């Protein structure tokens, strides 16, 4: 695997065991900056656990994660997020009783504006202007995602696909260095796939590196520059999607047959 770009994320030798189950074993890969890296593998390969380990939601038994040049030594998830690494989850995790607009506005963390005392005393002049500007940005982003009409709806009332779009809008708003998308197509109408692909291109355009975990292989083929394949806790192959089709290790992992790519009937 050639990496022209420097690595935005480097995973080295991650281990995680649960009781007797070896969820992640000596998992290592890199995600080059400014590119879309896919993470695929059969069920139980350890992809989600690896994501949890990288984003701080679980603590590794061994191994390191290097992000932005720094080793993330057992940092809690909110710290990692503040460093610029944001992840989504397998099910859409919107904030249901908050509105769509509130969901998006809240995507940006700003300690100075979020303190309790600011809440009591009110924002300073500069902060108020920042808030107004932020609202405008949020509206624009919602516009891009076609959610403007829903902005005052409580996010919990939306359909599954719409919730995913809200999640994407949140990420777009947060402008992280790296975003990890955990099965974004899960439970979503395939029609939205193209929209999501465009959203991912939008992330790249603003300088965000993307990692996508997916089972939907046509989608992976569509959006990724490079793919990492996991099986039974470790990385068994990596390279551009096309090259993996003939990779014996990958075929074995998928029990003989990688799901064939079919042109979506337009």
Partner 1 sequence: MTQYLVSVLTEGAIFGVMALGLNVIWGWSGDFDLAYYGYVALGAYMTLVLTIGRQPPPTQYILGLTLPYPVAVVGAVASAMFLALVIGLIALRHLRGIYFSIVTLGAVYVLYTMASQFVPLFNGYQGLSGLVNPMADVLGIDFNSYQYFLLGLAIAVFLLVYLFLSRVSSSRFGLALRSLREDERAAAAFGRDIYRLKLKAYVLGAAIGGLGGALFATYVTAFNTSAWAPLETIVLYAAVLVGGRGNIRGVVLGVFIVIVLIEESTRFLPEIPGHPNIVLALRPIVIGLALILFLRFRPQGLLPERRYMDPIQEKAKQELAT
Partner 2 sequence: MHQALLTLGFGLVTAAILSLSAVAFTLEYAVTNVANLSHGEILTVGAYAALVVHERTGSALAAALAAAAAGGIIALAMHLAVVDRFIRRGTPTLVIFIATLGLSFVIQNLLVIIFGAANRAYSIPSGAPFQLGPFLWTAVDIEIIVSAIAITAALFVVISYTKFGKALRAVSQNRELARVSGINANLVASATWFLAGLVAGYAGFILAESIGTFTPSFGFGFFLITLTAAVAGGLGRAFSTMVGAIIVGIALEFFGGYVSPGYNLAFAFGILALVILIRPRGLFVNARRSVFE
**Closer CB to partner 2, 55 or 238, in the complex:** 55
**Closer CB to partner 1, 18 or 109, in the complex:** 109
The residue whose two tokens read 């984003």 is 55
Q: Is 90 helix (H, G, I), strand (E, B) or coil?
A: coil
Number of residues engaging partner 2 in binding (CB under 8 A): 5
Q: Report the 10 Å Cβ neighbour count for 40.
A: 26
Instruction: Say how far apart CA 43 and CA 104 lie, in whole Å.
Output: 32
Residue 65: name the closest of 24, 114, 116 by CA: 24
Rounded least distance, CB 171 to partner 1, Å: 9
252 membership: H or E segment, kind and range: helix 248-253
Rounded least distance, CB 178 to partner 2, Å: 20
Instruction: Say how far apart CA 25 and CA 63 lie, in whole Å.
Output: 10
* Among partner 1, partner 2, none, residue 58 binds (CB under 5-8 Å by kind): partner 2
For the stretch 147-152, contacts whose Cβ atoms lie closer than 8 Å and that sit 24 or more positions apart, written own/partner, are: 147/100, 150/100, 151/99, 151/100, 151/101, 152/99, 152/100, 152/101
* Among partner 2, partner 1, none, residue 106 binds (CB under 5-8 Å by kind): partner 1
**Closer CB to partner 1, 13 or 160, in the complex:** 160
* Among partner 1, partner 2, none, residue 96 binds (CB under 5-8 Å by kind): partner 1
Strands in 176-225 per DSSP E: 178-182, 209-213
The residue within the footprint of partner 2, chosen from 57, 95, 254, 261 (CB under 8 A), is 57
* Among partner 1, partner 2, none, residue 43 binds (CB under 5-8 Å by kind): none
Instruction: Say how far apart CA 203 and CA 138 lie, in whole Å.
Output: 15
**Closer CB to partner 2, 89 or 145, in the complex:** 89
**Closer CB to partner 2, 104 or 213, in the complex:** 213
Rounded least distance, CB 242 to partner 1, Å: 32
Name the token pair of 119. 């809440």
- Interface positions with partner 1 (CB under 8 A): 55, 57, 76-78, 81-82, 86-89, 93-99, 101-102, 105-107, 109-110, 113-116, 118-120, 122, 131, 135, 139, 148-149, 151-152, 154, 170, 174
- Interaction between residue 77 and partner 2 (CB under 8 A): yes
The residue whose two tokens read 């099986």 is 231
Rounded least distance, CB 96 to partner 2, Å: 12
What is the signed CA dihedral for 239, 243, 248, 254, rounded to 10 degrees? 80
CA 204 to chain CA centroid, Å, is: 12
Binding site for partner 2 (CB under 8 A): 52, 57-59, 77
């Amino acid at each position: 695997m050639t990496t022209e770009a420097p690595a935005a994320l480097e995973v080295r030798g991650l281990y995680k065991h649960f009781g007797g189950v070896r969820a992640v074993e000596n998992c290592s890969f890199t995600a080059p900056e400014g590119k879309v890296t896919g993470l695929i593998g059969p069920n139980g390969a350890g992809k989600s656990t690896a994501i949890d380990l990288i984003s701080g939601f679980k603590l590794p038994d061994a191994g390191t994660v290097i992000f932005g040049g720094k080793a993330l030594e057992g940092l809690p998830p909110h710290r990692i997020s503040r460093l610029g690494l944001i992840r989504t989850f397998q099910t859409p995790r919107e904030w249901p009783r908050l509105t769509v607009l509130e969901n998006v506005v809240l995507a940006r963390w700003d300690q100075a504006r979020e303190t309790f005392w600011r809440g009591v005393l009110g924002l300073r002049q500069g902060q108020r202007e920042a808030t107004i500007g932020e609202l405008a940005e949020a509206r624009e982003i919602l516009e891009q995602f076609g959610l403007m009409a829903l902005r005052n709806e409580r996010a919990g009332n939306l359909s599954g696909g719409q919730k995913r779009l809200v999640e994407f809008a949140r990420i777009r708003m947060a402008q992280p260095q790296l975003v990890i998308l955990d099965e974004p197509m899960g439970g979503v109408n395939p029609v939205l796939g193209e929209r999501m692909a465009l959203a991912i291109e939008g992330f790249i355009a603003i300088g965000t590196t993307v990692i996508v975990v997916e089972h939907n292989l046509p989608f992976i083929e569509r959006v990724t520059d490079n793919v990492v394949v996991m099986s039974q806790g470790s990385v068994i192959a990596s390279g551009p999607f096309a090259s993996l089709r003939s990779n014996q290790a990958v075929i074995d992992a998928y029990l003989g047959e990688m799901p064939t790519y079919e042109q979506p009937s337009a």
